[in-house]
Amino acid sequence: MRRWLGLIAAALSLVVAGAAQAAYPEKPVRIIVPYIAGSAPDVLARQVAQRLTSGLGQQFIVDNKPGVAGNIGAEVAARAAPDGYTLLMFTSSHVLSRFLYARVNFDALKDFAPITMITRIPSLMVVPPSSPAKTVVEFIALAKSMPGKLNYGSGGVGTLAHLSAEAFRYAAGIDYVHVPYKGAPDIVLGLISNQVQVGFPTMPTAVRPALQGTLRPLAVTSARRTTAMPDVPTLLEAMPNGFDLDAWLGLAAPAGTPRDIVERVYATLAEALKDQAFRDVLGNDGSEIVINTPNDFAAVLKGESDKSEALIKRVGVRLE
């Protein structure tokens, strides 16, 4: 009799646990965005939050916690309870931080449960319309004819624009001068005023002025051409020793979050991406939509980590 009661109690506990899991989410869920409102991760997070809210029947709320290239918000998320009620807008910067900064209080591979990558964001190599360089090869020749005389702009040390430009320096064998600005939009202004002669802003920042003719696009840093500017070659196509380097945005939860919750959030987003209107919103700025399973995302993260470590060692950037 006692044995039967034990079996019944165990069965009931499984039923109760299953019912509790099936009810997720039972309260609002916050998505930590470790960047300011209006930034690309913030805009994406708000679109994702709307779709998760409608798909899962509970409020998903964006919580901006900017600072130190996204590290502050990531630390908060890493320390949150792994119960599915805190998610993180996870970015390529979080993988880079491990190698870029002398001290980081989280491990991008160990402290998070990957849910899915959502978009990849290439950079666009651009010059002013007045530049004599109309191709990447012509720009390399120009830079080699006047070493140390050309300037490139970035959104600050350690940003993707900075790392892209330094990777280009290494691949092209040129010498030019770094002019760091406060943010990516300032790169465009610096190019228009000819304070800098080349830059690698991200596609969302650069695609409109490039299409309008305010800037001249020479190449994209992605592995494939973008649908936003299909006539612009990749650096792999445009130069010897070409390379690909882009940013990405995705969603993650604190490590230890129940697998069924991770899978449910992923499945809801995957279903939402069947809607062409949603895809159009996410991909209207030159970003490439990428939706992958949690297992696939985890495998991609390992590859991204290895690639980031090699890049940082090559360009020799280190921040305190």
Residue 93 counted as domain residue: yes
Q: Tell me how crowded residue 113 is: count the other CB atoms within 10 A of its CB.
A: 21
Task: Classify residue 251 by burial, with Cβ atoms within 10 Å: 0-12, 13-18, 19+.
Answer: buried
Q: What percent of the chain has pLDDT over 70?
A: 92
Supply the pLDDT for residue 36: 83
Give the chain's radius of gyration (CA, Å). 22
By the 8 A CB rule, do 85 and 64 touch?
no
pLDDT at 293 exceeding the cut of 50: yes
CA atoms of 95 and 28, how far apart (whole Å) = 28
CA atoms of 277 and 292, how far apart (whole Å) = 19
Supply the pLDDT for residue 126: 98
- Same structural domain, 115 and 250: yes
Residue 1 counted as domain residue: no
CA atoms of 152 and 191, how far apart (whole Å) = 9
- Give the strand pairing for 29-33 and 124-127: unpaired
Q: How far apart are the first and last CA of the chain?
A: 66
Residue 20 counted as domain residue: no
- 191: domain CATH number is 3.40.190.10
Average the pLDDT over 230-251 and give the result.
94
Nearest-5° angle of CA 317, CA 318, CA 320?
A: 150
Extended beta strands in 47-183, E state: 60-64, 86-91, 112-122, 124-127, 151-154, 177-180
Give me the residue label for tokens 């990447």: 136
pLDDT at 6 exceeding the cut of 70: no
Residue 17 counted as domain residue: no
pLDDT one-digit tens code per residue, 74-93: 999 999 999 999 999 999 98
Residue 320 counted as domain residue: no
- Same structural domain, 110 and 250: yes
- Give the strand pairing for 112-122 and 246-254: antiparallel
Which range (2-16, 148-162, 257-271, 284-298) has the least confidence? 2-16
pLDDT one-digit tens code per residue, 96-155: 888 888 888 999 999 999 999 999 999 999 999 999 999 999 999 999 999 999 999 998
- Same structural domain, 83 and 223: no
- Same structural domain, 252 and 107: yes
Give Cα 211 to chain centroid, integer Å: 23
pLDDT at 245 exceeding the cut of 80: yes
State which of 183, 203, 238 marks the end of a domain.
238
pLDDT grade for 320, boundaries at 50, 70 and 90: low
pLDDT one-digit tens code per residue, 115-124: 999 999 999 9
CA atoms of 95 and 98, how far apart (whole Å) = 6
- Same structural domain, 137 and 148: yes
- Domain, as residue range, for 186: 124-238
Give the count of domains, the chain: 2
CA atoms of 78 and 126, how far apart (whole Å) = 37
User: Which two tokens mark 215?
Assistant: 């800037």
Supply the pLDDT for residue 20: 43
pLDDT at 25 exceeding the cut of 60: yes
Residue 13 counted as domain residue: no
Average pLDDT taken over every residue of the chain: 89
pLDDT grade for 7, boundaries at 50, 70 and 90: very low
Cβ-Cβ contacts under 8 Å for 279 (sequence gap 6 or more): 273, 289
